[in-house]
Chain A
Amino acid sequence: MAGGIFAVLLIAFVVAMATQAVPAFSKLGVSFLWGSNWDPAHNHFGVLPFAVGTIETTVIAVALAVPIGLGTALALAYLAPRRLRAPLSTAVELLAAVPSVVYGLWGLVAVAPLFRTTVEPQLTSVLGWTGLLGGPNQGVGLLLAGVILFIMVLPTMVAISRDVLAAVPHDQVEGAMALGATRWQVLRKVIVPGARVGLLGAFTLATGRALGETVAVALVIGNSAHLAPSLKANAGTIPSLIVSSFGEASGTQLNVLFAAALVLLVVGIGVNALARVFVRSVKRSGAASVTVA
């Protein structure tokens, strides 16, 4: 019975937020969801810049986390010295235990100056032709937020990928080896395809974490309400908008923030449900137990 709490809680979540969000929709219609002008003083509540910022930071984080996370997971499941695998796995997973506010503080004070003086100038000289890196090097901004998010979602990506990779049936691995495949060919042609669905689950969960992360992003993204012209520019995400403007919000603005939170919640539930379905199908078909961090 106590378990029934969760279903009730999830429904209560959506209902509670929906009731608070309704005034925003009834006053502003639904168009504020894609309006690009955020100016509460003049009753303009377009949340598009924040939605775009959320997508941009998430894409940066996941684009880094997928290859590096997959490589790390392969190393931890099959390649690293056997005695080091468990302690190194724990070390990577501990990244998930560091509180997000500590990531924010570290990103703001330690990493942002490094970005301003070194990373951003270097990147601009190499990738400036893409037109994505215009404007001054200022440290805080979309790029830094994306990179901090990458570090934060990495343990999710690694822990689940490692488990599903390790769960690929051993007879398939041995069969490939018997045919003369090299170690890499076994990994690339047998193990990764065999764990495909579970890896998709890991990717989805990592995306979900990146979309909803609040405090760390709010500290390092620079909080601007304008569509960022460059990856180096200040921006905002939906969670950072809510947390940074909640204190002084009232009336319609507060309702708009609840509506934004509602969107975040619904997307969060959807993404997580999808991820669990992916990971669980591996669990059902697969050999070893899959633990989800």
Chain B
Amino acid sequence: MSSISFDSSLDPILSRRAAIQKIAASSIARRKVYSKVAISVCLLCLVVALIPLVAIITYVAAKGIPAWNADFFTQVTKPEGIPNGGVWNAIVGSLIIDGIAVAASVPFGILGGLFLAESDGPAAAAVRFSADILTGVPSITIGIFGYIVWVKTVGSYSGFAGAFAIAIIMLPVIMRAAETAIRGVPVTLREAGLSLGARRSTVARRVVLPAALPGLLTGVLLAVARGAGETAPLLFTIFGNQFFQANPTKAMEALPQAIYTYSSQPYNDLIQIAWGAALLLMVVILVLNVGSRLMAARLRRERR
């Protein structure tokens, strides 16, 4: 503060400066308030986005846990009105279908990932692009594709047809994860192998893939989490089966299919079973998903 005070109204320059300072002060105050409000709205959006997850997990748990008893896990589905029904047939069906799908998609996925990681040409770009598109294509169309090429050709609904459709869903997930995992293997390892006179294919098989194994496993877990929850592809391929069926050449039941079937029926005991199955499926998938994320995070830390 200056000790001498001027009458600012007498000096045109000083009066202009005062006016500008006043405008600036009110502008910054207004902008700061505006900024605070807008940022609060963004944080509120975050809260709104988190509500459904909490709501759905608590609701499904509250409805599903009462359905979990020994019969639920060991008995096959019973028609409405007959007590002690369960989803044993659906659990076995899901395990078999997803098992076959993993077994079919893992080799192709890892080979594809190896190809993408090792080559950077237009072919790799085209493959990456079509794999990305395949990830986003509506899953119902994958189910219909399975129906046309498998069910119609073979002549019957089957666990294999379901596994075929689920494998198509898993494949791009595994491939992109494999690419990331393989790219993460240090070049020095690769060069050491090559300098010993090993062929590229030998280095890939004996050095790169073992080193990338944890990352590959992460990708497989993620793919299972993705594939196991899919319903639409199964509706057109496995048909559903209320009896126990472990033969994948026959129509089978699976957890997502069972949930869909029973939730659209007006019977409370069947809806109860649907809740139990929904909880089971959700827990398995969330555990797989979170597990693969934790593994990936740990890998990244170790790399550093």
Contacts and interface: CB of A to CB of B under 8 A. Distances in A.
Interface of A: 1-7, 9-10, 12-13, 16-17, 19-20, 67-72, 74-76, 79-80, 88, 90-92, 94-95, 97-106, 108-110, 151, 154, 158, 180, 182-185, 187-188, 205, 208-209, 211-215, 219, 239, 242-243, 246, 258, 261, 264-265, 268-269, 271-273, 275-276, 292
Given A17-B144, A264-B138, A99 B281 contact: yes
Contacts of B41: 71
Contact of A106 (B49, B59, B137): B59
A212 B232 CA distance: 10
B271 A109 contact: yes
Given A3-B127, A98-B229, A101-B259, 5 more contacts: A4-B123, A20-B148, A79-B43, A239-B232, A276-B129
B278 A102 contact: yes
Interface residues of B, number: 81
Nearest to A148: B52
B100 to A, nearest CB: 17
A215 B231 contact: yes
A231 B33 CA distance: 37
Contacts of A242: 140, 144
23 contacts: A2-B111, A3-B115, A3-B175, A4-B123, A16-B149, A68-B48, A69-B45, A71-B44, A71-B46, A79-B42, A98-B229, A100-B229, A100-B231, A101-B260, A105-B259, A106-B59, A185-B31, A187-B42, A239-B138, A258-B144, A268-B136, A272-B136, A275-B136
Contacts of B190: none
B112 A9 contact: no
Interface SS, B side: helix
A221 to B, nearest CB: 12
A242 B140 CA distance: 9
Name the 5 nearest CB pairs between A and B, nearest first: A212-B138, A71-B45, A99-B229, A184-B35, A3-B127
B263 A75 contact: no
B4 interface: no
B171 A5 contact: yes
Contact of A213 (B31, B138, B172): B138
A92 B285 CA distance: 15
Contacts of B285: 97-99
B286 interface: yes
B13 interface: no
A70 B44 CA distance: 12
Contacts of B144: 17, 242, 258, 261
B231 A101 contact: yes
B299 interface: no
Contacts of B137: 13, 212, 265, 268-269, 272
Interface string B262-304: 0110000001001100100110011001100100000000000
Nearest to A279: B132
B42 A71 contact: yes
B133 A276 contact: yes
B86 interface: no
A182 B290 contact: no
Interface SS, A side: helix
A154 B50 CA distance: 10
Nearest to A74: B42
B230 A103 contact: no
B43 A105 contact: no
Contacts of B256: 99, 101, 215
Nearest to B49: A72
A215 B260 contact: yes
B140 A16 contact: no
Contact of A17 (B59, B133, B145, B235): B145
Contact of B264 (A70, A88, A219): A219
Contacts of A17: 141, 144-145, 148
Interface in B46-73: 46, 48-50, 52-53, 55-56, 59-60, 63
Interface in B98-127: 107-109, 111-112, 115-116, 123-124, 126-127
